[in-house]
């Protein structure tokens, strides 16, 4: 698996991926400290695991930016040509990159979710934050899977757009704005929103959670699919986008 | 051996490379010559499988580049010295390249030493001067110890020291029996570096021959004569069926040029026989520049100005050492 080694050396020999990973991990843990640190008395007892995770989406965005940059900087500095020259089997090379970036994102996702849960347990020590339902395990451990899949989407968008600003804009606007705005379209809007890819990613995490202080339905209760099917659907989007990106990169002039 | 057959690349309505066929023979330095925008870089990108030809194909020892496995062990190339991440160290840049082709661990250190970058191996490549970047690019090309090497405008923008270094390096590579294809728009450079030439203009093949043949074929010799009895000599030479031309040359007044393959002896003797005083009698051999202008002139439809172009060319000191003026980057 030399392409894995190649992409590992590339990623760790510049500084920005390190920064992205540190920021991503710190954000989720920091937000957990903020949401649990000031709780007192009855409020504190109502805290749930869900309350410790508000920073996760932000961290997910940061890792998507890192994933997209792993591709777009190669186009910006022309190293993609050196890469294709060294490994003319372009799809294999780009899949290697995807694997490395997705794996790292997954690991950061796990560090973020369990780190935030740890900090929450420390601050809200009077609340019952032990992980004892399948849904709670899914919320924490599942974060790794959601981070990894969204990184795959980010790499695919990076390959297709080839330009940092454009790719990052799409990756931030799509989950945060576009998926929420489609709601406003009459008749079909609700269905579009329920079948949007990132909505299904979070539906996988949020179904069956005790929202506690956040109130029921904070994560949206209108789910199109059961948790694991929702994750599969999200992964299907990632796979489809990646297939299009690999096809396009193989045909295009580098 | 690199072999292109009917290679064509179109970008919309623009034809960058037009039905180009040529061969690059093993164990020699072949110059790939053409003016800026002639399609040299596009052709090199197609050789390396980076751009897909619209039609035709190019193979390396019978295989298309994109079918090669571990291509760095077969073909090394430097197309653009800036294709390096500015925040990555020279060593890390070579390390990932080496890993991609499963090259031995010491290949990176060897390549760095060969181009003299060992001392700055851990510095970020973005801080390198052009000359150092060029060396790093060459280290990348040599990493897999390949038989075939491609260099695109390797001396472009380098200082004299860098140019000499690259030139010496090319010869060393060819002496080691490698196939070297080096592109340039600097004709004088090619005269010093290349044994064979592939000349293109506007994407079309103009000539493929040895450098010597190219110069011989394209520009015959001309004899320059200065004499106070200009018209008389011209008349006598006309009777000998020779083609003459009288031009006003700056600082020298009217000068007689005699075209065709002939020696100065012949004209000197003719002049003496008729009692004509000669102030100057010089044989002017065609330079690579002249040959190039004549050959590409046809393809770029500058026919109307041929005469004038020829005169200005002859004004310049002939021979291979023609000053390299500021060149545009392509």
Q: What does the pLDDT look like over B146-197, one tens digit per residue?
A: 999 999 999 887 888 888 888 888 888 888 989 999 998 877 778 888 899 9
pLDDT at residue B328, as a whole number = 40
Q: Do residues A71 and A158 touch, judged by C-beta distance below 8 A?
A: yes
Cβ contact A86–B79 (<8 Å): no
Q: Which residues of B touch A86 (CB under 8 A)?
A: 71-72, 97, 100-101
Residue A229's domain spans which residues?
2-251
Among residues B192, B216, B240, the one where a domain terminates is B216
B201-239: pLDDT as tens digits: 889 998 899 988 877 766 667 788 898 988 888 888 888
A149-174: pLDDT as tens digits: 999 999 999 999 999 999 999 999 99
Q: What is the spatial distance between Cα A221 and Cα A36, in angstroms, rounded to a whole number? A: 24
For residue B70, tell me if it sits in a domain: yes
Cβ contact A77–B85 (<8 Å): yes
Residue B209's domain spans which residues?
2-216
In this structure, are B200 and B263 located in the same domain?
A: no
Q: Which of B187, B195, B188 is nearest to B170 (CA)?
A: B195
Of B50, B51, B84, the CB nearest to A77: B84
Q: Do residues B135 and B168 touch, judged by C-beta distance below 8 A?
A: no
Of B48, B87, B99, the CB nearest to A2: B99
State how far Cα B115 lies from the chain centre.
23
B279-301: pLDDT as tens digits: 988 877 666 666 677 666 655 44
Could you identify the residue written with the tokens 């040509």?
A81
Between A83 and A215, residue with greater pLDDT: A83
Cβ contact B87–A14 (<8 Å): yes
Least confident of A63-67, A81-85, B9-13: B9-13
Least confident of A177-181, B7-11, B87-91, B251-255: B251-255
Q: What is the three-class DSSP state of B78?
A: strand
Cβ contact B102–A2 (<8 Å): yes
A183-214: pLDDT as tens digits: 888 888 888 888 999 999 999 999 988 887 66
pLDDT at residue B291, as a whole number = 67
**How many domains does chain B contain in total?**
2
In this structure, are B13 and B117 located in the same domain?
A: yes
Q: What angle do CA B50, B18, B214 make, to 5 degrees?
A: 105
Cross-sheet strand order for the sheet of B14-24: B14-24, B2-11, B55-60
Least confident of A221-225, B20-24, B312-316: B312-316
pLDDT at residue B116, as a whole number = 92
In this structure, are B126 and B23 located in the same domain?
A: yes
**Interchain CB contact of A207 with B (< 8 Å):** no
Q: What is the spatial distance between Cα B55 and Cα A96, in angstroms, rounded to a whole number? A: 31
pLDDT at residue A213, as a whole number = 65
> Residue B250 sits in a domain of what CATH number?
3.30.70.100
Burial class (CB in 10 A: 0-12, 13-18, 19+), B284: middle
Q: What is the spatial distance between Cα A178 and Cα B107, in angstroms, rounded to a whole number? A: 50
State how far Cα B267 lies from the chain centre.
35
**Distance of residue B205 Cα from the nearest chain A Cα, in angstroms:** 23
> Residue B141 sits in a domain of what CATH number?
3.40.50.300
Cβ atoms within 10 Å of A149's Cβ, excluding its own: 26
Interface test with B, best of A2, A74, A84, A85 (most B CBs within 10 A): A85
pLDDT at residue B325, as a whole number = 39
Ramachandran bin of B254, using left for φ above 0, alpha for ψ from -120 to 50, beta for the remaining angles = beta
Cβ contact B71–A86 (<8 Å): yes
**CB neighbour burial string for B160-193, b if at least 16 within 10 angstroms, e if fewer:** eebbebbbebbeebbeeebbbbbbbbbbbbbbbb
Q: What is the spatial distance between Cα B172 and Cα B170, in angstroms, rounded to a whole number? A: 5
B29-86: pLDDT as tens digits: 999 998 888 899 999 999 999 999 999 999 999 999 999 999 999 999 999 999 999 9
Q: What is the spatial distance between Cα B28 and Cα B17, in angstroms, rounded to a whole number? A: 24
Q: What are phi and psi of B150, to 5 degrees?
A: -120, 130
**Distance of residue A80 Cα from the nearest chain B Cα, in angstroms:** 8
Strands B179-184 vs B148-152: parallel, antiparallel or unpaired: parallel
Q: Compute the half-sphere exposure of residue A163: CA atoms within 13 Å on the CB side of its CA.
A: 5
Is the pLDDT reported for residue B122 higher than 80? yes
Is the pLDDT reported for residue A217 higher than 60? no
Q: What is the spatial distance between Cα A25 and Cα A42, in angstroms, rounded to a whole number? A: 29
pLDDT at residue B317, as a whole number = 40
Segment B118-130 shows an average pLDDT of 95
User: Could you tell me the pLDDT band of residue B308, with boundaries at 50, 70 and 90?
Assistant: very low
State how far Cα B252 lies from the chain centre.
33
> Which chain B residue has the Cα nearest residue A73?
B85
For residue B104, tell me if it sits in a domain: yes
Sheet strands (E) in B130-279: 148-152, 179-184, 196-201, 204-210, 222-226, 244-249, 253-259
**CB neighbour burial string for B79-99, b if at least 16 within 10 angstroms, e if fewer:** bbbbbbbebbbbbbbbbbbbb
A108-129: pLDDT as tens digits: 999 999 999 999 999 988 888 8
Cβ contact A9–B51 (<8 Å): no
Among residues B175, B198, B216, the one where a domain terminates is B216
Using CB atoms and an 8 Å cut-off, which of residues 2-31 of chain A contact chain B? 2-3, 5-6, 9-10, 13-16
Interface ipTM: 0.90
pLDDT at residue B312, as a whole number = 40
Highest mean pLDDT among A47-56, A69-78, B292-301, B319-328: A69-78
Q: Which residues of B touch A69 (CB under 8 A)?
A: none
In this structure, are B163 and B245 located in the same domain?
A: no
Of B80, B93, B95, the CB nearest to A78: B80
Q: What are phi and psi of B218, to 5 degrees?
A: -80, -35
The share of chain A scoring above pLDDT 70, in percent, equals 96
**How many domains does chain A contain in total?**
1
Q: Which of B143, B144, B140, B186 is nearest to B167 (CA)?
A: B186
Cβ contact A88–B140 (<8 Å): no
**Distance of residue B308 Cα from the nearest chain A Cα, in angstroms:** 42
User: Could you tell me the pLDDT band of residue B320, with boundaries at 50, 70 and 90?
Assistant: very low
**Distance of residue A163 Cα from the nearest chain B Cα, in angstroms:** 15
Cβ contact B50–A89 (<8 Å): no
Interface test with B, best of A86, A97, A250 (most B CBs within 10 A): A86
Is the pLDDT reported for residue A220 higher than 60? no
């Amino acid at each position: 698996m030399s392409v894995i080694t190649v992409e590992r050396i590339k990623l760790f020999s510049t500084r920005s991926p390190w920064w992205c990973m540190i920021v991503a991990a710190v954000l989720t843990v920091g937000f957990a400290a903020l949401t649990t640190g000031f709780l007192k008395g009855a409020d504190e007892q109502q805290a749930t695991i869900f309350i410790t995770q508000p920073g996760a989406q932000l961290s997910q965005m940061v890792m998507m930016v890192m994933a997209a940059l792993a591709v777009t900087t190669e186009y910006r500095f022309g190293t993609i040509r050196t890469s294709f020259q060294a490994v003319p089997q372009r799809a294999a090379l780009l899949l290697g990159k995807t694997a490395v970036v997705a794996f790292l994102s997954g690991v950061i996702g796990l560090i973020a979710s369990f780190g935030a849960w740890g900090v929450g347990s420390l601050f809200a020590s009077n609340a019952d934050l032990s992980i004892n339902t399948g849904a709670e395990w899914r919320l924490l451990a599942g974060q790794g899977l959601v981070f990894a899949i969204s990184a795959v989407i980010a790499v695919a968008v990076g390959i297709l757009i080839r330009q940092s600003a454009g790719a990052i804009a799409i990756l931030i606007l799509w989950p945060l704005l576009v998926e929420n705005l489609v709601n406003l379209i009459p008749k079909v809007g609700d269905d579009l929103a329920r079948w949007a890819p990132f909505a299904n990613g979070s539906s996988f995490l949020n179904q069956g959670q005790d929202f506690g202080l956040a109130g029921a339905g904070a994560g949206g209760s209108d789910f199109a699919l059961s948790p694991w099917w929702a994750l599969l659907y999200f992964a299907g989007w990632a796979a489809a986008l990646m297939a299009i990106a690999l096809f396009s990169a193989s045909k295009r002039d580098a | 051996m690199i072999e292109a057959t009917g290679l064509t690349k179109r970008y919309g309505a623009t034809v960058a490379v037009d039905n180009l066929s040529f061969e690059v023979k093993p164990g020699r330095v072949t110059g790939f010559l053409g003016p800026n925008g002639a399609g040299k870089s596009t052709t090199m990108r197609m050789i390396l499988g980076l751009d897909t030809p619209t039609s035709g194909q190019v193979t390396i020892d019978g295989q298309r580049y994109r079918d090669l496995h571990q291509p760095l062990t077969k073909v090394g190339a430097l197309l653009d010295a800036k294709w390096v991440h500015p925040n990555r160290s020279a060593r890390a840049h070579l390390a990932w390249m080496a890993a991609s082709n499963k090259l031995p661990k010491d290949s990176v250190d060897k390549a760095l030493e060969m181009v003299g970058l060992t001392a700055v191996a851990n510095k970020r490549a973005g801080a390198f001067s052009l000359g150092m970047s060029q060396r790093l690019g060459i280290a990348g090309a040599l990493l897999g110890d390949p038989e075939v090497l491609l260099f695109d405008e390797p001396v472009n923008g380098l200082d004299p020291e860098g140019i000499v270094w690259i030139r010496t390096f090319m010869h060393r590579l060819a002496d080691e029996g490698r196939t070297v294809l080096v592109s340039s728009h600097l004709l004088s450079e090619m005269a010093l570096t290349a044994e064979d030439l592939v000349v293109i203009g506007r994407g079309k093949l103009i000539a493929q021959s040895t450098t010597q043949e190219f110069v011989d074929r394209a520009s015959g010799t001309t004899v320059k004569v200065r004499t106070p009895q200009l018209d008389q000599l011209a008349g006598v030479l006309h009777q000998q069926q020779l083609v003459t031309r009288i031009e006003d040359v700056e600082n020298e007044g009217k000068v007689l040029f005699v075209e065709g393959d002939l020696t100065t002896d012949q004209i000197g003797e003719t002049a003496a026989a008729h009692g004509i005083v000669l102030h100057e009698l010089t044989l002017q051999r065609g330079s690579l520049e002249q040959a190039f202008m004549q050959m590409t002139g046809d393809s770029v439809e500058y026919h109307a100005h041929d005469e004038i172009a020829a005169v200005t060319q002859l004004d310049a000191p002939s021979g291979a050492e023609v000053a390299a003026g500021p060149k545009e980057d392509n």
